[in-house]
Amino acid sequence: MTAIVRPRRRVKDIMSNTTNKAPQAAALAGVQALIAGTQKHFPNGQFTLGNTAYTTASLVQVLQPLVDAYSAVSAARLNATDAVAALRTTEAKVEPVIRDYVTFLRATFSNAKAQLGDFGLQAPKARTPLPPEERLAATAKARATRVARGTVGKKKKLTVKGDVIGVSVTPITTSGPAPSPGTAPAPAPAAPAPTASSPAAPAGATTPASTTTAPAVVAR
């Protein structure tokens, strides 16, 4: 059975999003799905898309080159990724050798432009000395800049000392060595044990009475 199908706006939207906005991997999958769905549901279909008539086979022939192009780009990107990784590895090995070799060539040929040019190198440019007037002006400007910035030399910095006002220092003296950090203070000595009371006087003994002498009265 032959079906005549005219595209609806929805189909055009799907094609636009698939080919223009989606990433290439998704776009490839989208075009492949269009081909597979067309071959499944319209094996002998006829389509009028815009002003052009297509059969299933001719429509697939139009879509297949886009699939091939996306596949080629994906393969090229994969190969490019591998190639870039190989390039980075080779650079890490060769660049130190090139650097040392260029240093050797410059030390060998110095400022010889022709010889260095044979190796693709440029001779260093000779420095043109400043005229006396410009040298004096540059020196004066440098001094003025140091003064404006307050820049001083090493010896001058050593003479600059800070002053401390209103601070008094009280020395701390100890009778014994200072305890080491983290050591607990020694416990206080225990109180002496109570001593025994004096023995009682024997029976029958008399306790001598205290004698008080009254002051003598002198008659006048």
Per the domain annotation, does 46 fall within a domain? yes
Q: How many CA atoms lie within 13 A of 73 on its CB side?
A: 10
pLDDT at 184: 54
Overall pTM surpassing 0.85 (yes/no): no
Per the domain annotation, does 47 fall within a domain? yes
Per the domain annotation, does 42 fall within a domain? yes
Name the domain count of the chain. Answer: 1
pLDDT at 190: 59
Per the domain annotation, does 23 fall within a domain? yes
Per the domain annotation, does 48 fall within a domain? yes
Per the domain annotation, does 59 fall within a domain? yes
User: Residue 26's domain spans which residues?
Assistant: 4-96
pLDDT at 143: 86
Per the domain annotation, does 144 fall within a domain? no
Cα separation, 143 vs 138, in Å, equals 9
Cα separation, 28 vs 149, in Å, equals 66
pLDDT tens for the chain, residues 1 to 220:
444 555 454 444 445 444 444 588 888 899 999 999 999 999 999 999 989 999 999 999 999 999 999 999 989 988 999 999 999 999 999 999 999 999 999 999 988 889 999 999 988 887 778 788 888 888 889 888 888 887 877 777 777 776 667 667 677 776 655 555 555 555 555 555 555 444 555 454 455 544 444 555 444 4
How does strand 4-5 pair with strand 46-49? parallel
pLDDT at 158: 79
pLDDT at 20: 47
pLDDT at 13: 47
The closest alpha carbon to 124, from 140, 99, 107, 138, belongs to 107
Per the domain annotation, does 193 fall within a domain? no
